[in-house]
Amino acid sequence: MSIDDEDDLLFKALGHRARRRILDALKAGPRTTGMLCDLTPELDRCTVMQHLKVLEAAGLVVVERRGRKRWNHLDALPVHAIHERWIGPYAAYASSMLSRLKRESERPEEGLSFQPDPIGAGRGDDHEP
């Protein structure tokens, strides 16, 4: 499976509110399927199981069977990989732009690297065609 296919599975898994709620519950620690059903009373057991299968296929949930119980564990590594690939670089860029803006705003007025437009400039109403 390609990285793009894995990303598609991950984004699909994260795209449903019920699956995000299940993941939020698993952040606190492993839960049995029954416990997850109790946390989502609006969903029947079969629906919770279907959501868990999607999360497992995306690599977000690891299932451990202990006797008759199914323990579901969160695996946050796929989310971390998405963060590193998509969010981290944009956050760094945004942070650098905010730092630059802060430096510019703290400079004395004569040192500004840009000149504000005079009132009415750039609207096109003071020029003849």
SS3 category, 30 = coil
Q: What is the pLDDT of residue 110?
A: 58
Q: What is the pLDDT of residue 54?
A: 97
Cα–Cα distances in Å, from 72 out to 20, 24, 32, 98, 111?
Answer: 14, 12, 6, 41, 59
Q: Would you give per-residue pLDDT tens digits along the chain (129 residues)?
A: 788 888 889 999 999 999 999 999 999 999 999 999 999 999 999 999 999 999 999 999 999 999 999 999 999 888 888 888 878 778 888 888 888 888 888 877 655 564 444 554 444 444 444
Domain of residue 9, residue span: 3-77
Query: Is 90 part of any domain?
Result: no
Q: What is the pLDDT of residue 118?
A: 53
Q: How many domains does the chain have?
A: 1
| Residue 30: count of CB within 10 angstroms of its CB | 14
Q: What is the pTM of this model?
A: 0.66
Q: What is the pLDDT of residue 86?
A: 78
The domain spanning residue 46 has which CATH number?
A: 1.10.10.10
Query: Is 58 part of any domain?
Result: yes
Q: What is the pLDDT of residue 65?
A: 94
